[in-house]
Amino acid sequence: MLRRRPGERFGPSRGPGKELRRRAKLPVWPRCRPRLLPAALLVPCLLATIGWSQTWRQANLGYRLQFPRDHASHPEYRIEWWYYTGNLADSSSRRFGFQLTFFRAGVRTRPENPSRWAVRDLFMAHLALSDLETGRFHFAERLNRAGPGWAGASTETYRVWNQSWEAGLDSDGRHRLRARDGDFGIDLVLEPGRQPLLHGRAGLSQKGSQEGNASHYYSLTRMPTRGSIRVDGREFEVAGSSWMDHEFGTSFLEQEQIGWDWFALQLDGGQDLMVFQLRRSDGRRDPNSSGTLLDASGKRQGLGRSDFSLEPVRTWRSPHSGARYPIQWRLSLPRRGLSLTVTAAQPDQELRTRWSTGVTYWEGAVVVTGTRGTDPVSGRGYLEMTGYAGQSMGDVFR
């Protein structure tokens, strides 16, 4: 359902000149959120194919995020995803990391073909499980159109699904995640935990130099989690803490960005931190690199490019793809007195997805150590790294 609110316009606000620039640049998603790999791959192809003739809504100031309403889908925007990562352990302290992501990528706002199979949106999903005891990493993906109801994202209440994988709110307002592929899977209940953390300006995360190149973006940063994990045919009762991102918008990444490094960290003592940097083809850090810090008190602080520094410490070469990933980072926020070492909980957490041939990325559980002022601090979190598998993202997105 398209919801229109007073004072808001549907469709991108743009003059003819702007449209031409956009076409010429073959802009690539997502400038704001580097995570959306498959969607990032598919959407520009679509643009090349069908042109910019659609009327998708742009993310603008003035939209007030409300919950739980805005957990649900926003089909008037081109791109949307729901992203869960978490660190869990069973009663004997056997540790696991998981990632479950649902993507929606708009193709045509109104397909002319009346068939239910006509594609308005493409739905993708990634499931990954890091078995930190054995060091094994499992991943799977789903790609579907809505069709007769194989995949979708409801607009009324929060529910998103792709075949049998699904995420949504139960009657108690808890998040239910269920996904299984062959002999591994998850079945988890996530308490909402802390208040939603709005990134950027009141949840509008400005990404590009141009107005309108932005997205609505919030996170649930510390969700108490319980449930079961299945791996190698065994069930484990687990508990831990998860992180959810939800973002929707209609803007795109630039060509010269070759990759990105994104961190979502939960520190002991109640600080939650999200930062990412975009790496440019000239080797420099993109000015749009940014982050948000949530204090134990619930105070939110935006982080600009100059507020943090990131430095790779140790790399690991993937035997599968040959890519070399920094699996240990030094992250410092000098003004907040934070000096952190972020280390992959296990080296191999690389996803190689069928649909992004050549686009292979690393997404995995990390362990944090370091200092806050003079006090030691530790924590856990998730790290995503792209653009290391030999290919510039810019080339891929062409």
Partner 1 sequence: MSPPPALRRSPQPKPLMFLFRTFILRRLREEKVRSLATVLGVALGIAVVLAVQMANQSSVRSFETALEMVAGKTSLEIVGAGPGLREERLLELDWLEQFGQISPIIEGEARAQFPSGDREWLRILGVDILRDESFRDYRLVRFAGQSQSPGPREFLQLLSDPNAILLTQKLARRHGLDPDSSLDLDVGDRRETLTVRGLLLDKGPARALNGTFALMDIAAAQWLLGRLGRIDRVDLRLNPEFSIDQAEAAIAARLPADLTVQRPSRRGRQVEKMLEAFHFNLTALSHIALLVGLFLIYNTVSLSVITRRREVGILRAVGGSRRQVAGLFLAEAGLLATLGCALGILLGGGLARGALSLTSSTLDRLYIRSAAEPVPVGVEHLVLAFAVGIPLALLAALVPALEASRVAPTEAVRGFDRLESRYRLSWRQRWLPPILAVLAVGFACLDSVEGIPLFGYAACLATVFAVAFLVPAVLHVSGRAGSRLTRRWTGVEALLANANLSGSISRISISVAALAVSLSMLTAIAVMIGSFRETVQYWVQQTLQADLYLAPATRSNIYSKSSVSPEVVRQVAANPGVAAVDSFTSFTVDYQGRQALLGSGDFAVQLDRAGLLFKAPRDGRSAVRAAIGQDAAVVSESFALRHRKTVGDAVVLNTPRGQRAFRVAAVYYDYSSDQGIVVLDRSTFRKYYGDQPPRSLAVYLKEGLDPERVRSGILAGLPPQSRVFVHTNASLKREVLRIFDNTFTITYALEIIAVAVAILGVAATLITLILDRKPELALLRWTGAEQRQIRKMVVIEAALLGAISQGLGVAAGILLSLILIFVINVQSFGWTIQYHLPAGFLLQSSLLILLATALSGIYPAYRAGRVPPSREA
CA distances (Å), origin 186, targets 132, 154, 228, 231, 353: 15, 22, 6, 9, 19
Within the chain, where are the H helices?
Answer: 16-25, 37-50, 393-397
Closest approach of Cβ 113 to partner 1, in Å?
Answer: 4
Closest approach of Cβ 112 to partner 1, in Å?
Answer: 6
Sign of the alpha-carbon torsion through 247, 209, 52, 45 = negative
User: Looking at 81-89, 92-100, 107-115, 318-326, which segment touches partner 1 (CB under 8 A)?
Assistant: 107-115
Q: Which residues of 8-32 are buried (b: 16+ CB within 10 A; e: fewer)?
A: eeeebebeeeeeeebeeeebbbbbb
**How many Å separate Cα 180 from the centre of its chain?**
20
User: Looking at 117-125, 215-223, 283-291, 380-388, which segment touches partner 1 (CB under 8 A)?
Assistant: 117-125
Nearer to partner 1, 78 or 95 (CB): 78
Nearer to partner 1, 75 or 196 (CB): 75
Angle at 80 between CA 40 and CA 60, to 5 degrees: 105
The DSSP output letter for 271 is: -
User: Looking at 115-123, 218-226, 245-253, 255-263, which segment touches partner 1 (CB under 8 A)?
Assistant: 115-123
Nearer to partner 1, 6 or 148 (CB): 148
Interface characters, 121-160, with partner 1 (x: CB under 8 A) = -x--------------------xxx-xxxx----------
Tell whether omega for the bond before 224 is within 30 degrees of 0, i.e. cis: no
CA distances (Å), origin 388, targets 35, 285, 291, 323, 347: 14, 15, 22, 6, 14
- The yes or no reply on residue 164 touching partner 1 (CB under 8 A) is yes
Of these, 114, 233, 319, 373, which contacts partner 1 (CB under 8 A)? 114
- The yes or no reply on residue 182 touching partner 1 (CB under 8 A) is yes
Closest approach of Cβ 122 to partner 1, in Å?
Answer: 8
Closest approach of Cβ 2 to partner 1, in Å?
Answer: 20
Of these, 112, 156, 170, 282, which contacts partner 1 (CB under 8 A)? 112
Calpha distance 163→112 (Å, rounded)? 25
Nearer to partner 1, 140 or 366 (CB): 140
Of these, 154, 178, 355, 391, which contacts partner 1 (CB under 8 A)? 355
Closest approach of Cβ 265 to partner 1, in Å?
Answer: 33
Contacts for 191 with CB less than 8 Å, ≥ 6 apart: 174, 175, 223, 224, 225
Which residues of this chain interact with partner 1, rule CB under 8 A?
A: 41-42, 45-46, 48-50, 107-108, 111-119, 122, 143-145, 147-150, 163-164, 182, 355, 357
